[in-house]
Structure 1
Amino acid sequence: MARWLGLAGLIVVLDQISKQWVEHALDYGDRIPLTGFFNLVLTYNPGAAFSFLAGAGGWQRHFFTVLAVVVSAVIVSMLRKQHAQTGIALALSLILGGALGNVIDRVLYGHVIDFIQLYYGQFYWPAFNIADSAICVGAVLMVLDSLRKPSAGASQPD
């Protein structure tokens, strides 16, 4: 269990360090092209993923903070039960670290600091951060883990 909580803690630390570095290196809205598909950009997201509810007037900050804390508590409970199952424990740890990384931003600043921007031609993916990446990778791993396991009650081939 300790290694999974340690991984979640490492995600939080890397996320917060990277956000602070970008906050000090860039002004809001600055964009630094690094490759033909990747920019560093400093932006703030008061909403959820892809700026969902970003313009909702402020209540969403508290809603998403409480939601992240509740989800984090559920994830810790799930980790206690499934810490020996590497696939699901890894997925849960990544999601936990990402959720806590973003909740720290919401509590301290009222918004999440985003800085990774991917693009292709004129198509720009919404900016994100290390916490968002950990949540997405964890969710994909969770889906893959569930697809590898036979469903309960399914008959096995003879």
Structure 2
Amino acid sequence: MKKENGLYWLIISTIVFFVDIASKFWILNKFNLYESINVLPFFSITYVQNIGAAFSIFEGQRWMLAAVALLISGAIVYMLYRNKRQQKLENFSLSLILGGALGNLFDRLYHGFVVDFLDVNFGCWHYPTFNIADCAICIGIGLFILSSYKKPQKTE
């Protein structure tokens, strides 16, 4: 009998990956570097290139960042394989993280940089520009932390 594991949830990773890549290619085709369109008073679509990781840390470390993304992706696939399919919140969170990590990995390998375009600011405060993959990773991490609190406690 086939084991019902968490690999079923890779469909979420696939969706996140393709939506992320499609949005980035749309930006690349429609915007010049640093071009910006205000959508709301606090939100703009602004095309920037990130050659580092979150908040541009590890700038210029393309291959190290790619290796880390591959290791994390492998660990997530293994965790999904070990999980039961019914562990919905944990599997969903891992799938979001995986889809986002693979989206940014694709950018690093294909373009040599990550395409960022979601730009949020309030008055003088400006959040670093990000993308759909970054959203998926952050939401996934938050949900993963939440899922760790929802696990049943083992009794001795």
TM-score by length of 1: 0.90
User: Which of 28, 34, 46 is residue 33 of structure 2 equivalent to?
Assistant: 28
What secondary structure is seen at the aligned counterpart in 2 of 1:34?
A: strand
Letter in 2 for 1:95: I
CA contact (8 A) 2:7 2:80 kept: no
* Inter-CA distance 14–47: structure 2 relative to 1 (3 Å threshold): same
Q: Give the % identical residues.
A: 39
Per the alignment, residue 17 of structure 2 pairs with: 12
For residues 130-155 of structure 1, give each alpha carbon's deviation from its aligned partner in whole angstroms, at most 9, with x where no partner exists: 000000000000011112235556x8
Aligned-residue CA RMSD in angstroms?
Answer: 1.4
What secondary structure is seen at the aligned counterpart in 1 of 2:116?
A: strand
Is 1:137 equivalent to 2:139 in the alignment? Answer: yes
1:63-142 to structure 2, matched below 5 A, reads: 63-84=64-85, 85-142=87-144
Gaps of 5+ in 2: 1-5
CA contact (8 A) 2:118 2:130 kept: yes
Runs of 4+ in 1 over 4 A off after TM superposition: 150-153
CA contact (8 A) 1:37 1:119 kept: yes
CA contact (8 A) 2:39 2:45 kept: yes
For residues 56-111 of structure 1, give each alpha carbon's deviation from its aligned partner in whole angstroms, at most 9, with x where no partner exists: xx3x1000001101110110000011142101000000000000000000001111
CA contact (8 A) 2:7 2:81 kept: no
Letter in 1 for 2:82: K
For residues 5-50 of structure 1, give each alpha carbon's deviation from its aligned partner in whole angstroms, at most 9, with x where no partner exists: 1110110100000001011111000111000111000000010001
TM-score by length of 2: 0.91
* Inter-CA distance 83–19: structure 2 relative to 1 (3 Å threshold): farther
CA contact (8 A) 1:4 1:83 kept: no
Gaps of 5+ in 1: none
- Distance, in Å, in 2 between the alignment partners of 1:94 and 1:119 is 25
User: Which of 45, 57, 68 is residue 52 of structure 1 equivalent to?
Assistant: 57
